[in-house]
């Protein structure tokens, strides 16, 4: 009995020591530290608020047309895709758009360079979809779609990597040397276009922009974050970009902090966050299972100091509303869709996924986060 009490007390002590915080940074800047305890913002959980509170996804939602075929297709991967971004239509509250990286001609993920292009899909059944193809936004080769509304410019800005090339004649992969990743931006008043010709901003890959505009500071300034958390800023979206910071951690392959494809946002307190694909996925590298796939990085200011949390913010296992649980071979390209009430509560996580055992077929999964998405959907009548 005494021994049990001692063990119990010791366990409590350990729990308290582990979870005690002294600053909001120890709550991953996803909450506040109150009397040594992290009070997490909506959609985040854990002792340190470092985990995304993912809810069950619904099968048949997202953008999943891997069985589609067409006589012009070179392969059988259907309309495979690799993540995208949800946009709520500003005029029509019942309409949601998904700008998605799709692979042309039935080619899958392995043919991403050359066949990736940007497509726009629509859903009238809510933000989770299913989304249906309505428009090609670009031809090949365009990948890494990131779109946001720029309040200063009163325009959508569309970011991609790639070059404009003729429609590919096969799914065969093309080298980066032949077709560079040059990060480019285009603008449009309407999400349905027309889009201006792409303007190259920086050399690099995996752009993640965020306007520095706020109602209090109506600046035209913009930030653009690329691979290895290289942070650039520009006076305007189409002006010259200057490097202001780079990741302070080891970014080499197979290092503990090897990550790619950052998704960046500034939260309601003005702090900065990134979600990234924390290398590497399941069954790569000789069948090694890595118990991670989504990394979270954060900083009080854009210039840093940034913290790379060595803990998964989410992983490749997804629970579905039908009760099934699926662990994906790959789950990458994380992008959040936030509430529009000024709280920036994450409502959905969009990612590119590939089933275990699948070599190159892939699709875009949308998974709700936390609980606020329920009210968001209900208020829109879904
Ligand atoms: C995606 O589509 C495939 C093929 O139709 C299906 O097996 C799979 O369950 C779908 N996944 C989701 C999440 O809807
Ligand atoms: C597949 O993508 C093509 C665009 O290349 C489009 O014409 C077709 O409607 C799409 N099919 C489905 C089922 O999404
Ligand atoms: C969409 O773009 C892809 C890539 O350029 C092309 O293969 C496909 O035919 C286009 N589809 C339509 C309907 O324009
Ligand atoms: C595009 O990228 C390549 C290689 O990264 C570089 O050689 C080329 O100069 C870039 N083009 C422009 C216009 O920046
Ligand atoms: C990209 O790199 C090339 C070669 O180093 C350089 O000529 C070009 O100006 C760079 N482009 C940008 C936008 O920085
Ligand atoms: C507005 O924001 C920009 C970009 O962050 C910054 O450079 C500028 O100093 C800010 N202006 C004021 C008045 O705070
Ligand atoms: C970075 O990580 C790589 C791979 O683990 C390792 O070989 C290298 O020594 C590391 N470099 C530093 C400066 O820690
Ligand atoms: C791959 O894994 C197998 C089984 O664990 C092991 O025997 C083999 O040495 C590994 N190969 C490499 C290149 O690491
Ligand atoms: C992901 O996390 C869940 C919950 O902790 C766990 O059950 C699952 O095994 C993890 N999946 C992977 C691939 O690590």
Q: Using CA positions, which residue lies closest to atom 9 of ligand 9?
A: 317
List pLDDT tens digits, range 112-157.
999 999 999 999 999 999 999 999 999 999 999 999 999 999 999 9
What average pLDDT score do residues 208-233 get?
96
Asked if residue 221 has its Cβ within 6 Å of ligand 1, the reply is no
Give the other-Cβ count within 10 Å of 42's Cβ.
Answer: 19
Task: Identify the H or E element spanning 263.
Answer: strand 259-266
Asked if residue 105 has its Cβ within 6 Å of ligand 3, the reply is yes
Between the CA of 198 and the centroid of ligand 4 the distance, in Å, is 14
pLDDT at 295 over 50: yes
Mean pLDDT of the chain: 92
Which residues on neighbouring strands pair with residue 354, listed in sequence order? 330
What average pLDDT score do residues 337-360 get?
95
300: left (phi over 0), alpha (psi -120 to 50) or beta: alpha
Q: How far apart are CA 239 and CA 217, in angstroms?
A: 19
Three-class DSSP category at 33: strand
List pLDDT tens digits, range 53-81.
999 999 999 999 999 999 999 999 999 99
Give the model's confidence band at 291: pLDDT under 50 very low, under 70 low, under 90 confident, else very high: low
Between the CA of 25 and the centroid of ligand 9 the distance, in Å, is 25
Which among 203, 204, 207, 230 is the best mutation to test ligand 4's pocket, defined by most ligand atoms within 8 Å of the CB? 203
pLDDT at 16: 44
pLDDT at 288: 65
pLDDT at 267 over 80: yes
pLDDT at 174 over 90: no
pLDDT at 2: 45
Between the CA of 365 and the centroid of ligand 7 the distance, in Å, is 33
Instruction: Name residues contacting ligand 2 (CB within 6 A).
Output: 65, 68, 79, 104, 133
What average pLDDT score do residues 299-325 get?
96
Between the CA of 271 and the centroid of ligand 5 the distance, in Å, is 31
Of 277, 337, 268, 267, nearest in space to 298 by CA: 267
Q: Which CATH number fits domain 53-379: 3.40.462.40, 3.40.50.170, 2.115.10.20, 2.60.200.30?
A: 2.115.10.20
pLDDT at 285 over 90: no
Asked if residue 179 has its Cβ within 6 Å of ligand 4, the reply is no
Between the CA of 286 and the centroid of ligand 8 the distance, in Å, is 6
Least confident of 113-117, 134-138, 172-176, 211-215: 172-176
pLDDT at 319 over 50: yes
pLDDT at 283: 60
pLDDT at 231 over 70: yes
Residues 6 or more apart whose Cβ sits within 8 Å of residue 379: none
What average pLDDT score do residues 339-360 get?
94
Q: How far apart are CA 70 and CA 279, in angstroms?
A: 34
Between the CA of 261 and the centroid of ligand 5 the distance, in Å, is 21
Q: Using CA positions, which residue lies closest to atom 2 of ligand 7?
A: 255
pLDDT at 318: 97
Between the CA of 8 and the centroid of ligand 1 the distance, in Å, is 46
Give the model's confidence band at 3: pLDDT under 50 very low, under 70 low, under 90 confident, else very high: very low
pLDDT at 41 over 90: yes
Which ranges in the chain belong to alpha helices (H)? 2-19, 112-115, 372-379
pLDDT at 54: 98
Q: Using CA positions, which residue lies closest to atom 2 of ligand 1?
A: 64
Give the model's confidence band at 347: pLDDT under 50 very low, under 70 low, under 90 confident, else very high: very high
Give the model's confidence band at 284: pLDDT under 50 very low, under 70 low, under 90 confident, else very high: low
Instruction: Name residues contacting ligand 7 (CB within 6 A).
Output: 250, 252, 254-255
Q: Using CA positions, which residue lies closest to atom 10 of ligand 2?
A: 133
pLDDT at 46 over 70: yes
List pLDDT tens digits, range 13-27.
444 445 699 999 999
- Which is the closest atom of ligand 1 to the Cα of 60? 14
Between the CA of 233 and the centroid of ligand 5 the distance, in Å, is 17
Domain boundaries, the chain: 1-40, 53-379
């Amino acid at each position: 009995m005494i021994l049990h009490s001692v063990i119990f007390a010791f366990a409590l002590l350990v729990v308290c020591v582990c979870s005690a915080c002294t600053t909001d940074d120890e709550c991953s800047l996803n909450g506040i530290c109150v009397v040594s305890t992290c009070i997490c913002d909506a959609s985040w959980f854990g002792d340190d608020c470092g985990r995304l509170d993912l809810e069950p996804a619904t099968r048949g939602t997202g953008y999943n047309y891997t069985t589609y075929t067409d006589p012009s297709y070179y392969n059988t991967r259907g309309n495979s895709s690799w993540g995208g971004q949800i946009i709520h239509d500003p005029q029509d509250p019942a309409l949601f758009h998904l700008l998605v990286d799709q692979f042309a001609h039935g080619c899958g993920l392995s043919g991403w360079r050359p066949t990736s292009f940007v497509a726009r899909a629509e859903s009238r059944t809510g933000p989770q979809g299913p989304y249906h193809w309505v428009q090609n936004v670009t031809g090949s080769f365009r990948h890494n779609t990131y779109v946001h509304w720029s309040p200063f410019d009163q325009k959508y800005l569309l970011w991609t990597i790639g070059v404009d090339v003729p429609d590919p004649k096969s799914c065969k992969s093309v080298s980066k040397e032949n077709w560079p990743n040059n990060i480019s931006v285009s603008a449009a008043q309407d999400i349905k276009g027309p889009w201006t010709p792409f303007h190259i901003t920086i050399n690099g890959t995996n752009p993640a922009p965020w306007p520095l505009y706020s109602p209090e500071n109506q600046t035209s300034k913009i930030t653009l974050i690329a691979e290895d958390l290289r942070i650039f800023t520009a006076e305007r979206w189409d002006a010259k970009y200057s490097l202001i910071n780079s990741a302070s951690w080891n970014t080499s392959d197979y290092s503990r902090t090897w990550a790619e494809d950052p998704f960046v946002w500034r939260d309601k307190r003005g702090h900065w966050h990134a979600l990234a694909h924390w290398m590497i996925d399941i069954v790569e590298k000789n069948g090694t299972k890595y118990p991670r796939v989504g990394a979270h990085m954060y900083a009080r200011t854009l210039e840093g100091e940034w913290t790379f949390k060595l803990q998964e913010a989410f992983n490749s296992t997804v629970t579905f509303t039908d009760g099934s649980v699926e662990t994906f071979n790959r789950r990458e390209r994380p992008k959040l869709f936030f509430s529009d009430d000024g709280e920036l509560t994450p409502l959905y996580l969009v990612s590119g996924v590939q089933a275990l055992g699948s070599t190159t077929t892939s699709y875009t999964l949308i998974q709700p986060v936390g609980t606020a998405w329920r009210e968001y959907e209900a208020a829109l009548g879904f």
